[in-house]
């Protein structure tokens, strides 16, 4: 069985909380535990924040969020967050822990590291001037299977 949802939001920082709550609410139909739910919400928050402050640089833009649930022996929750903003010139470097383009603004430089640590897969595609697509997934084993 497969289920999905799509969301479109303007790049306003007040929507960070809405985006992670919405994805969390959709993901909650699976058998995930409270830690897994927190992992997904935190990762969504990181990706959406990146789109707002780096992608659109606090200017107006649209962020597209898609979440797909693939049920099976292992349930897979896939989240895709896409923007049409500035893009990332060097994705590899951007993904290094503590790398930040704005050290004076007290960014931790840990956004991608958080997504990598809290999700099971992370795939970042970006083109300068065209935007960024962050695709990440979390594998959820049901309580019974996890106990085996």
Active-site residue set: 46, 50, 107
Residue placing its CB nearer to another protein in the complex, 47 or 67? 47
90: which 2 tokens?
């060097």
The binding site for another protein (CB under 8 A) comprises: 13-14, 16-17, 20, 34-35, 38, 41-42, 45-46, 49, 52-53, 106-111, 113-114, 117-118
Residue 13 neighbours by CB under 8 Å, 6+ apart: 49, 52, 53
The minimum distance between CB 65 and another protein, in angstroms, equals 16
Distance CA 124, CA 23 (A): 19
The minimum distance between CB 17 and another protein, in angstroms, equals 6
The minimum distance between CB 25 and another protein, in angstroms, equals 14
Distance CA 123, CA 133 (A): 8
Residue placing its CB nearer to another protein in the complex, 16 or 83? 16
Per DSSP (E only), the strands in the chain are 2-10, 62-70, 74-83, 121-127, 131-141
The minimum distance between CB 111 and another protein, in angstroms, equals 5
Cα–Cα nearest to 85, from 31, 120, 132, 15: 132
Residue placing its CB nearer to another protein in the complex, 58 or 127? 58
- φ/ψ of residue 76, rounded to 5: -115, 125
Residue placing its CB nearer to another protein in the complex, 3 or 108? 108
């Amino acid at each position: 069985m497969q289920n999905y949802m799509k969301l479109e939001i303007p790049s306003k920082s007040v929507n960070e909380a809405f985006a992670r709550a919405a994805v969390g609410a959709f993901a909650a139909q699976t058998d995930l535990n409270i830690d897994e739910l927190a992992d997904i919400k935190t990762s969504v928050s990181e990706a959406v924040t990146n789109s707002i402050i780096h992608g659109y640089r606090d200017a107006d833009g649209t962020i597209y969020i898609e979440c797909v649930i693939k049920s099976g022996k292992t349930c897979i929750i896939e989240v895709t967050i896409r923007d049409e903003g500035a893009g990332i010139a060097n994705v590899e470097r951007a993904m290094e822990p503590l790398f930040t383009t704005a050290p004076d603004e007290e960014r931790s430089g840990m956004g991608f590291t958080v997504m990598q640590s809290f999700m099971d897969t992370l795939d970042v595609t970006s083109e300068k001037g065209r935007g960024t697509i962050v695709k990440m997934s979390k594998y959820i084993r049901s309580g019974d299977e996890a106990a085996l």
